[in-house]
């Protein structure tokens, strides 16, 4: 175990109190593994800790948290100007953990931690929105957006991924289609959208497979639009039997442009961003990530 390369774990403060994690870290250290731990309090902390990781020269920066934490660490990695850039490791400690779940990170904390430190580093894509904000997993707009961005923190903590769906059902009064226009390579669509999913990864909102064929290292984004003509019934048949639904529009492109006459809120890995114009593009092979063998999201 002593030949494990050094790493720095960036732990989201929300999940830092876990005694099993302390135990697992202590065990690794006893086995001679060099592992630094830093805890975040607010947005921006992950980027500051990445600077420290570079100074320490660690091989891996582990994102300990949910999709939002992975997003912050991955964004900091691709913006890093150091000559040696650490790989990303994943330790799922969030609510939905959609990215980590879909790439096959083990549930068991100790196994996930070992994989994060010593797994094979593979180049993966990231998506960038309006030349600035990134997402590594999914951007969801419309109804799904409201589900995630309005789920109260406490409910999230108590119910895990399921709370996204329950909260969405409680807030059916907010269900409303958004008119928009979407362009991509060989793609153009205009109409009323209920949910828009744009995926580098496949699932969002606690297990909803919005882009079931997406791969994270193919340089492409997968788009799925749930059209709004039939509102609620459409959404439920679509989520349960996607292959039979007349309410789905799919597209694949390395970029998409979305414009709307009213503000759309997109959730980028679970963190909201509003506007009327979005240009989303992939940055192919922008960072290295330690993934399990046979990861289903690699081509």
Catalytic residues: 271
Q: Which is nearer to ligand ATP, 162 or 231 (CB)?
A: 162
Q: Which does 22 bind (CB under 5 to 8 A by kind): Mg ion, ligand ATP, none?
A: none
Residues 97-156 that bind ligand ATP (CB under 6 A): 97, 156
Note whether 68 binds ligand ATP by CB under 6 A: yes
Note whether 41 binds ligand ATP by CB under 6 A: yes
Query: Residue 214 has what DSSP assignment?
Result: -
The correct pick among 38, 58, 67, 221 for binding ligand ATP (CB under 6 A) is 67
Do 263 and 243 touch, CB atoms closer than 8 A?
no
215 known member of a binding site: yes
Note whether 38 binds ligand ATP by CB under 6 A: no
Q: Which is nearer to ligand ATP, 49 or 278 (CB)?
A: 49
Do 127 and 214 touch, CB atoms closer than 8 A?
no
Residues counted in the chain: 299
Q: Which is nearer to ligand ATP, 41 or 236 (CB)?
A: 41
Q: In the structure encoding, which two tokens stand for residue 67, read together?
A: 């999709």
The correct pick among 2, 3, 30, 42 for binding ligand ATP (CB under 6 A) is 42
Q: Which is nearer to ligand ATP, 66 or 86 (CB)?
A: 66
Least separation in angstroms between residue 279's CB and ligand ATP is: 23
231 known member of a binding site: no
130 known member of a binding site: no
Interface positions with Mg ion (CB under 5 A): 66-68, 270
Q: Give the CB-nearest residue to Mg ion.
A: 270
95 known member of a binding site: yes
259 known member of a binding site: no
Q: Which is nearer to Mg ion, 205 or 270 (CB)?
A: 270
192 known member of a binding site: no
Assign 3-state DSSP to the chain and report helix, strand, coil percentages, each to 5.
Answer: 30, 40, 30
Q: In the structure encoding, which two tokens stand for residue 7, read together?
A: 């790493």
Least separation in angstroms between residue 140's CB and ligand ATP is: 12
Binding residues for Mg(2+): 215, 218, 220
Q: Which residues are annotated as a binding site for ATP?
A: 40, 66-72, 95
Q: Which residues bind ligand ATP (CB under 6 A)?
A: 12-14, 40-43, 65-69, 94-97, 156, 270-271
């Amino acid at each position: 175990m002593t030949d494990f390369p050094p790493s720095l774990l960036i732990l989201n403060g929300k999940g830092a109190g876990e005694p099993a994690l302390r135990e697992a870290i202590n065990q690794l250290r006893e086995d001679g593994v060099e592992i630094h731990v830093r805890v975040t309090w607010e947005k921006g902390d992950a980027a500051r800790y990445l600077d420290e990781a570079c100074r320490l020269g660690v091989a891996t920066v582990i994102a300990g948290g949910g999709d939002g934490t992975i997003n912050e660490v991955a964004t900091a990695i691709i913006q890093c100007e150091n000559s040696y850039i650490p790989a990303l490791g994943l330790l799922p400690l969030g609510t939905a953990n959609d990215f980590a779940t879909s790439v096959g990170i083990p549930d068991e904390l100790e196994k996930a931690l070992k994989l994060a430190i010593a797994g094979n580093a593979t180049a993966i894509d990231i998506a960038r929105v309006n030349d600035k904000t990134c997402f590594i997993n999914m951007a969801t707009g419309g109804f799904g957006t409201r589900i995630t961005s309005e789920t109260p923190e406490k409910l999230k903590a108590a119910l895990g991924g399921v709370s996204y769906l329950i909260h969405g059902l409680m807030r059916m009064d907010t269900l409303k289609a958004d008119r928009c226009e979407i362009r991509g390579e060989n793609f153009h669509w205009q109409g009323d959208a209920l949910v828009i999913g744009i995926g580098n990864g496949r699932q969002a909102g606690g297990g909803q497979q919005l882009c079931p064929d997406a791969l994270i290292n193919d340089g492409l984004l997968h788009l799925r639009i749930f059209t709004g003509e039939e509102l609620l019934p459409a959404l439920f048949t679509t989520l349960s039997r996607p292959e039979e639904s007349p309410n789905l529009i799919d597209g694949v492109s390395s970029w998409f442009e979305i414009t709307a006459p009213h503000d759309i809120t997109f959730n980028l890995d679970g963190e909201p961003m509003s506007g009327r114009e979005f240009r989303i593009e992939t940055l192919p092979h922008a960072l290295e990530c330690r993934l399990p063998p046979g990861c289903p999201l690699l081509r």
